[in-house]
Amino acid sequence: MAETLHEVKEPRQQRSRDSQERILKAAEALIKSKGFEALTTAEVVRRSNTSIGTLYARFGDKTALLHAVQDRVQSREEACMRNQIAKIDWDALTLADSVRRLLEIKQTACDGDDRLFEAFVVHGATDPVLRAQGYRHKAAVENLEVEILLKSADEIGHADPEAAARVASRLAQAAQEEYVQRSLAGGPLPGSAPPELLLERLADVIIAYLKNPAPVA
């Protein structure tokens, strides 16, 4: 049976809003520090100094709480990206500079959220609500990045610059998912590559793709 999103109604009273905020903060912090498996309603209640009744009245269960945390985290990341993007004169940048700045902004927006991201991706494989919210977030980020990349459309070597820009955005998203899941897998990784080097090489790959389409056979 497909799961449905538990709608969290905005409390009218400030006291209720405060308790809801404490619950969400506690749940997010717990996943962030120990992973989704450590998320229990009892521990969230203890950390948030609320009650089981309050938690269930607002969120229903642990799964619905995860849905709300995902929405909270992804909304924050999008707001962070929009804020950083608005500070830059993109018209003054080259395509290569724009790619590098976008990757840096995305990295900053989700810095420290690896375990949260892992929980959304892993459990999204079986939870249609998490998956749908994740796709909406990816689409929003993609649209932000495509709008910026198309400011340098004359440097994109593809017949369809927008399609190429969307592929570039998805390459970055796929690389992020792969890195997070591998880094949190618990087992040894072959070789050693610091995040800064991976970010630099990813930028090189995306720039090369945008500038140089594959030759027609």
* CATH number of the domain within which 163 lies: 1.10.357.10
Q: Give the domain range for residue 180.
A: 14-211
Question: Could you give the number of structural domains in the chain?
Answer: 1
On the question of pLDDT at 154 being above 90, the answer is yes
Q: Is residue 4 part of a domain?
A: no
Q: Is residue 216 part of a domain?
A: no
Query: pLDDT tens for residues 112-139?
Result: 888 898 889 888 889 999 999 999 999 9
Residue that wins the pLDDT comparison between 182 and 122: 122
Three-state SS string over the chain comes to: CCCCCCCCCCCCCHHHHHHHHHHHHHHHHHHHHHCHHHCCHHHHHHHHCCCHHHHHHHHCCHHHHHHHHHHHHHHHHHHHHHHHHHCCCHHHCCHHHHHHHHHHHHHHHCCCCHHHHHHHHHHHCCCHHHHHHHHHHHHHHHHHHHHHHHHHHHHCCCCCHHHHHHHHHHHHHHHHHHHHHHHCCCCCCCCCCCHHHHHHHHHHHHHHHHHCCCCCC
Report the pLDDT averaged over residues 91-102: 96
Which range of 141-150, 169-178, 185-194, 199-208 scores highest in mean pLDDT? It is 141-150
Average pLDDT, the chain: 86
